[in-house]
Chains A and B, each alone.
Chain A
Amino acid sequence: MMRVVCVILFVCGLAAVALADSEFDAGLAAYQNSQWDAAIQSWESITARGETSGALEFNLGNAYFRKGDVPRAILHYERARKLLPRDNDVKQNLVLANRGIVDQILPQVRLELWNYFDGLRDTLSPRVLLWLIVVTNLSLVLALALYRFGRGSYQKLLRQTIVGTTCALCLATGWYVWRSASFADDHAIVMAEKTDVYSSPAETSTQLLSLHEGTKVKLGETLSEWIEVELADGRKGWMPKQDVEKI
């Protein structure tokens, strides 16, 4: 019975992957014919099922950009950047799309060293790091098994291998935790054409500034229909929650 269930689940998984692939290809065909709306519809049907990929988000960004919806293009490029942190196409298109927004916010001055660390952290995606953890974990177990049951003159080499793979596993796990923290960092894109930021979660409070569509903000606490946001230059305030969409 268990075997039957496993087979069914496996077949369903294969079918889902095949369906997503066919929808991706259909979207690509529409994109090649400059049918931006059709391409978006095909690709959004994949994300509507709760699945995504770096290439899919990148292509959605392109289709929205071609359609003229720059804020939504930025949203999908940012999502693609999370999944494909080393992809130069994603970086380039994100830079171009950001030229089309109104707000220009100068980020806070940071030490170059921190930027270097950020770049190092983003070198590998969480998925790759996870595979690294799985492989080093498997290597450690194999080395332990050989050391435990093997005989001969390889024991010393196996001891060194165990120490090495243990260090590698710790390093990969730490890196993954570090990367995940930045990956799960709550950022969002302003989707409203113009929205006001207040000093507290009420329209009667002092208006601090106005933001326009396409601006990236960091999300903070949520209170009822309001959310706290922080700009790249460090300014904070409260704005209506429905005016932003999480990356």
Chain B
Amino acid sequence: MIMRAVLLLLWLSSSVFAQVQFTARASRTSAPVGEPIEVTFSVEGAASGVPTPQPQALTNLKLVGGPSTSTQTSIVNGRVSSSKTFTYFVSGIAPGAAVVGPVEIEVKGRRYATAPVNLSIVPAGTRSKSDSGKEDVFVQVIPDKRTAFVGEQIVLTYKLYFSANIFAPEIKELPKATGFWTEEFELPDQLVPRDEVVEGQSYKSIVFRKVALFATTSGELTVDPLTAVVQIERQQKSRRGRDPFFDDPFFSFGRRREAVEVTTRPLELNIKALPDLGKPTGEVAVGKYTASARVDKMQVQANDAVTLTIQIRGTGNIKMLPAPAITIPADFETFEPKVSEQVKRGPDRITGSKTFEYVLIPRASGTQMIPPLTYNCFNPETQSYETAGTPPISIEVGRGTSRGAESALPFEAKREVKTVGQDIAYAKTTPGAFTPLHELPHQQTVFWVMLGAPWLAFAGLVVAVRRRDEIGRTLPARRRRALRHARTHLLSAEAASAKGNFVEATRLLTVAVQGVLAEWTGLSASTHTTSDWEAEWLVRGHTREQWTLLREALELSDRSRFAGGSQSLQDIAKSIADVRAVFDSLERSS
């Protein structure tokens, strides 16, 4: 009891007279952007009544965690000392200088302030350095190429370099790879370190991540940094001038384990579009592939199923391989293919195969031909378009048995004729009628000519007929017409005479003569006698010889009519000739 009282007295006396120190210290002086830095505020010489310091004056830093508090009390040589620490975590905002400004606290009525803590913020991905400045752990991303085509395989290898003891790294944040399809490689469970020299420094390295990227678009694409947390074992730093002897690794108690975040640099990749030259139509796979096709049965009965298996094998983005554009004959009923993939991830490339299984049901008998398959792909190695093809497959389809139990006839069921392709109609082989460009038909002169010509012709005809009628009504015209008709009758009379029909011949002769006499004398045969005609004929100045010939012709006719046609052919012929001579003289005189 006495002993306890003595100790309490000693403690009280030391606490009263102990000098208070308030300091700030950072776990490291340099850190990449975004990587946490541990900042510890220590109050030596006081443990109670100490307020929590508030680090508000942060330059190019942001507070990301804390505070965590710890209190220590120790008695050395009877002297009691106490301290209290407040730990915060800050992270750099941008590369450059950063400062944790002075922080003030008030302990037992007195104010204490820390000195500013200067830090250096480096770009993300910069190698982490230990407090001594030595790069003891860092991570790098190593692409196998920086320029690639859309869809081409780019392998990224994430390597961790270290020169101190570390424990297995943990990936804190997977990088965003916008614009890429990503395939992770399979890595061995045991990561075996390799010795490497980087910039003159000897390191051990392990590959802790390997990934294949397939760009889905062209342009300058960026793979974001990867952040990993590594537990690293570092030498405990002596704060009070401890003997360096104890820094030897032999003394493990002189080491501390520290979690260090390491970050890669952002990776810029140049992605080119596939070349247009020689680019086939339709979808194109990027990589190096071969194609194979087979059917499970080469001979099958109609309505029995056949499985067509098409396999695309090679190096590239297997999962994104497009389905082959295969033309199944219309006589097959087809179903959606069953698609399966086998992807081999490593060790260097993503390889594998994609299989398309089509179930085909032949609906018609005969030899059915599955045409050759052409699978278009772009080979980045040769930078050219290549075609993986398969030969045609011939399947013998038998008639099979009728599905309908009641149907005894070997007819196949009717089915719709399917359209298996579509294209524009072929060019026309005949030019058709050419017309002026941008001109309607009525704007052409020929139209108006064709429209107006009939009317003009009609009008002309009307005028011509009217004129003819007017002319026909005059005496000379009438006489010419009478002569014309009379001559026609004379010809008919000659014809009748030649056939021996003298009665008809003399009748026609009479008609001819009477017509002329009626026109030349103005007296019709029905109302006037021969003597009237004679008188008028002579009065109108015609010759008696003419009248005599005409009268003889009329008398010949009368004799023929009443005497029963006893005239001879010579008489009629002579009379016709005489009358024609008279007509000639009349025509000349008119």
Q: Out of B429, B454, B462, which one reaches A138, CB within 8 Å?
A: B454
Among A48-83, those with CB < 8 Å from B are 50-56, 58-59, 62-63, 65, 83
Residue of chain A at shortest CB distance from B427 = A59
Range of interface residues on A (Cβ < 8 Å): 35 or more
Stretch in B247-255, B305-313, B435-443 with 4+ CB within 8 Å of A: B435-443
Q: When the two chains form their complex, are residues B431 and A130 in contact, meaning their CB atoms are under 8 A apart?
A: no
Across-interface contacts of A130 in B (CB, < 8 A): 441-442, 447
Q: Is the CB of B431 within 8 A of A55?
A: yes
Q: Which residue of A lies closest to B429 (CB)?
A: A28
Interface residues of A in 16-62 (CB under 8 A from B): 17, 20-21, 24, 28, 31, 46-47, 50-56, 58-59, 62
Assess the B425–A137 pair: CB atoms within 8 A: no
Contact assessment for A134 and B440 in the assembled complex, using a CB-CB cutoff below 8 Å: no
Q: A51, A133, A138, A183: which contacts B436 (Cβ < 8 A)?
A: A51
8 A Cβ contacts from B179-215 to A: none
A235 contacts B by Cβ under 8 Å: no
Q: Between A and B, how many residue pairs show CB distances below 8 Å?
A: 88
B408 at the interface (CB under 8 A from A): no
Contact flags B426-453 to A (C-beta < 8 A → 1, else 0): 1111111111111011100001001100
Chain B residue total in the interface (Cβ 8 A)? 30
Question: Are the C-beta atoms of B440 and A51 separated by less than 8 Å?
Answer: no
Check A92 against B425 for contact (C-beta < 8 Å): yes
Write the chain B residue with the least CB distance to A84: B432
Q: Is B455 an interface residue (CB 8 A)?
A: yes
Task: From A107-115, A141-149, A151-159, A217-225, give the one contacting chain B.
Answer: A141-149
Residues in chain B near residue A21, CB distance under 8 A: 431
Q: A169-201 vs B: 1/0 string, CB under 8 Å? A: 000000010001001100000000000000000
Chain A's closest residue to B462 (CB) is: A148
List, in ascending order, chain B residues with CB within 8 A of A46's CB.
Answer: 434
B462 touches A52 (CB 8 A): no
- If A141-B457, A149-B465 touch, whether A127 touches B434 (CB-CB below 8 Å) is no
B259 CB within 8 Å of chain A: no
Where chain A touches its partner, the secondary structure class is helix
| A97 contacts B by Cβ under 8 Å | yes
Q: Which residue of A lies closest to B454 (CB)?
A: A141
Among A54, A145, A246, the residue within 8 A (CB) of B461 is: A145
Contact with B along A205-223 (1 / 0, CB 8 A): 0000000000000000000
B540 to chain A, nearest CB (A): 35
Q: Assess whether A141 is in contact with B424, with CB atoms less than 8 Å apart.
A: no
Cα distance, A47 to B431, chains bound together (Å): 12
Tell me whether A166 is interfacial, beta carbon within 8 Å. Answer: no
Task: Known A92-B424, A141-B458, A144-B458; judge A53-B450 contact (CB<8 A).
Answer: no
Q: Which residues of A sit under 8 angstroms from B458, Cβ to Cβ?
A: 141, 144-145
A53 touches B435 (CB 8 A): yes
When the two chains form the complex, which single residue of A47, A58, A142, A148 contacts B427, counting CB atoms closer than 8 Å?
A58
Chain A nearest Cβ from B462, distance in angstroms: 7
Q: Is A161 an interface residue (CB 8 A)?
A: no
Partner of A53, one of B427, B434, B454: B434
Q: Does B422 contact A (CB under 8 A)?
A: yes
Q: Which residues of B contact A123 (CB under 8 A)?
A: none
Closest CB of chain A to B377's CB: distance in Å? 23
Interfacial chain B residues near A134, Cβ < 8 Å? 447, 450-451
Distance from B447 Cβ to chain A, minimum over Cβ atoms (Å): 6
Task: Report Cα–Cα, A42/B103, bound state, in Å.
Answer: 89
Across the interface, do B428 and A58 meet the contact criterion of CB distance under 8 Å? yes
Residue of A nearest to B441 (CB): A130
Report A-chain residues with C-beta under 8 Å of the C-beta of B455.
137, 141
Cβ of A244 to closest chain B Cβ, rounded Å: 15
A126 partner residues in chain B, CB cutoff 8 A: 440-442
Supposing A92-B424, A93-B425, A133-B451 touch, asked if A180 and B442 sit within 8 A by C-beta, the answer is yes
A11 at interface (Cβ–Cβ under 8 A)?
no
B424 touches A52 (CB 8 A): no
Known: A47-B437, A134-B450. A59 touches B442 (CB 8 A): no
Q: Whole-angstrom distance between the alpha carbons of A133 and B451 in the complex? A: 8
Please, which residues of chain A bring their CB within 8 A of the CB of B424?
62, 65, 92-93, 96-97
B419 to chain A, nearest CB (A): 12
Residues of B within 8 A of A118 (CB): none
By a CB distance below 8 angstroms, the chain B residues around A127 are 433, 435, 441
Nearest B residue (CB) for A63 = B427
Residues of B within 8 A of A51 (CB): 434-437
Residue of B whose beta carbon sits closest to that of A99: B422
Interface string of B319-351 (1 = CB under 8 A from A): 000000000000000000000000000000000
A63 to B428, CA, bound (A): 11
Encode A101-122 as 1/0 by CB contact (under 8 A) with B.
0000000000000000000000
| Cβ-closest chain B residue relative to A140 | B454
Q: B423, B440, B455: which has the most chain A beta carbons within 10 Å?
A: B440
Contact of A96 with B422 at beta-carbon distance under 8 Å, contacts A134-B450, A137-B451 already known: yes
- Given A55-B428, A96-B422, are A176 and B434 also a contact pair (CB < 8 Å)? no
Known A141-B454, A141-B455, A149-B461: A50·B427 in contact at CB below 8 Å: no
| Nearest-Cβ distance from residue A143 to partner chain B, whole angstroms | 10
How near does chain B come to A30, taking the closest CB pair, in angstroms?
10
A53 close to B451 (CB less than 8 A): no
**Residue among A47, A130, A144 having the largest count of chain B Cβ atoms under 10 Å:** A130
Residues of chain B contacted by A83 (CB below 8 angstroms): 435
Q: Which residues in A have their C-beta under 8 angstroms from that of B450?
A: 134
Report Cα–Cα, A65/B424, bound state, in Å.
9
B79 to chain A, nearest CB (A): 84
Residues of B with C-beta under 8 A to A141: 454-455, 457-458
Q: Which residue of B lies closest to A142 (CB)?
A: B454
CB distance from B510 to the nearest CB of A (A): 29
- A89 contacts the other chain (CB 8 A): yes
Provide the residues of chain A in CB contact with B426, threshold 8 Å.
Answer: 62
Output the nearest chain B residue to A24 by Cβ-Cβ distance. B431
Contact B434–A52 (Cβ < 8 Å): yes
A-B contact pairs, 6 of them (CB 8 A): A55-B431, A92-B424, A134-B447, A138-B454, A145-B458, A180-B442
A residues contacting B by CB (< 8 A) are: 17, 20-21, 24, 28, 31, 46-47, 50-56, 58-59, 62-63, 65, 83, 89, 92-93, 96-97, 126-127, 130, 133-134, 137-138, 141-142, 144-145, 148-149, 176, 180, 183-184, 246
Q: What 5 new A-B contacts, CB under 8 Å, besides A55-B432, A96-B424, A184-B440?
A: A51-B435, A55-B430, A55-B431, A127-B433, A141-B455
Among all A-B residue pairs, the 8 with the closest Cβ atoms: A89-B425, A141-B454, A55-B428, A24-B431, A53-B432, A59-B427, A130-B441, A93-B424
